[in-house]
Amino acid sequence: MRYISFLKANKTLSIMLIAYIILFLYSPGKAGHAINESVYYFLEMIMIMPVIFILTALIEAWIPKERIMNHLGKDSGFKGMLFAFALGSFSAGPIYAAFPICVMLLKKGAKISNIVIILSTWAVIKIPMLINEAQFLGFKFTLFRWILTTISIFLIAFIMNYFIKITDIPNSEIEEDEQGMPVFIDTNFCIGCTICKQVSPSIFDIKEKKAILLTDQWDNELLAQASIAAKRCPAKVIHIKEDEVD
Amino acid sequence: MDIFTVMLWIITLVLLLISFKKDKEKTKLVFKMSKGLAGGMIGGIIGIILLIGFVLTLFPPEMITSYLSGKSQFLSTFMAAGVGSVTLIPAFIAFPLIEELLKSGVSMMVSVAFLTTLTMVGIVTFPLERESFGLKFTLFRNVGSFIFAIIIAVIMGGIL
């Protein structure tokens, strides 16, 4: 049963398993070759993956993001751009994890160019990834690509700062949830890191790689726990109605 | 294991030790988070690795190279950038793949175009981005990234 739900949650994997079975029936030699290729990539990956995840989590735990976020406003200038660059480079998770954080920063008055810098560096430039890139493609390659990408990101940010006005951005108040629940998870952006479940297993669980709520009965004790989880959530997808907390 | 991997392991272990000395609870959380991140991604990663093995068997790098060599350099760079924009492969799987393509003779320009759009342009995440920042912002950022990825590829193809 567990395997079935695992396969359901991982569509690419399931499709590939079927594809391999078909390939094996059609041409066992080719299937063997494909498996050999895959094993090579698997071995390359398994040596580096644990470090990348641990480094990512370490950075997430120790870099004081709140302090960085306070320096991104209208008059932040060059310093703000550097802060935005640092925030993106030292963050964990896929790019969509950056969306809710950037929406929040925009509401707090962050400049469009800084948001563009955060999003692009978040997607492209990750410190652990740079080391990984140098390993395969060489130091010179990585350095050149890093310099060129950084320049591009800053140029795109300048251009967009000129053309995009704050009014172009939808005022996406997260629909304060339907039944007026005090706690709400914006599942679209959840990266399934399980932090919330670790913090309070009685409130949160992970289902198909997304966090879900286990309760709809809230007391102060539970709300306090939920707000700790909300603070620790790297993608900031747990929303708590402030007036209910205190 | 090569020197880079060993270095990365040593750096990480030293940082972990420092983290553990400073704050045990936080370090425990670091472990749980990395376990959660890995657990959430491992199925998808293995799926993509199997896909790469599959594609490389049906279309060996030599075949890709000879297919591309008939085309103009510019057209193949655009095609590679297009493929990179629609695919969602974690970078750490893409690096060994690019290495293999480069070794089998795919040009630097084409490889860099693929690698850069892979992370910089997101067709798959486009709807989510639009929902958060609106169509104009999302269009500008992705089109801008695509154009600059081509420029980066051309420059890197010229100097490396």
Contact A197, A205 (CB under 8 A): yes
Q: Which of B9, B21, B57, B128 to mutate to test the interface with A (most CBs of A within 10 A)?
A: B57
Question: Where do the DSSP E strands lie in A107-187?
Answer: 183-185
Tens-place pLDDT, residues A77-136: 888 898 888 888 877 667 777 887 788 788 778 889 999 999 999 888 877 788 888 888
Predicted-complex ipTM score: 0.81
Kindly determine whether residue B53 and residue A128, on different chains, have CB atoms separated by under 8 Å.
no
The three-state secondary structure class of A205 is: strand
Q: What are phi and psi of A206, to 5 degrees?
A: -110, 125
Contact B1, A47 (CB under 8 A): yes
With 80 as the cut, is the pLDDT of residue B114 above it? yes
Which chain A residue's Cα is nearest to B113? A145
Kindly determine whether residue A149 and residue B120, on different chains, have CB atoms separated by under 8 Å.
yes
List chain A residues with CB under 8 Å of B16. 54, 58
Q: Between A91 and A194, name the one with better pLDDT.
A: A194
Tens-place pLDDT, residues A198-209: 888 888 988 877
CA distances from B54 to A24, A41, B6, B88, B110 (A): 11, 12, 30, 16, 21
Nearest to A157 by CA among B23, B146, B56, B145: B145
CA distances from B27 to A62, A225, A245, B67 (A): 10, 19, 28, 50
Q: Determine the Cα–Cα distance for residues A101 and A122; give it in Å rounded to an integer.
A: 11
Q: Determine the Cα–Cα distance for residues A71 and A85; give it in Å rounded to an integer.
A: 12
> The whole model's pTM is what?
0.75
With 80 as the cut, is the pLDDT of residue B90 above it? no
Buried (b) or exposed (e) across A126-162, using 16+ Cβ within 10 A? Answer: bebbbbbbbbbbeeebbebbeebbbebbbebbebbbe
Residue A50 near chain B (CB below 8 Å) = yes
pLDDT band for position A160 (cuts 50, 70, 90): very high
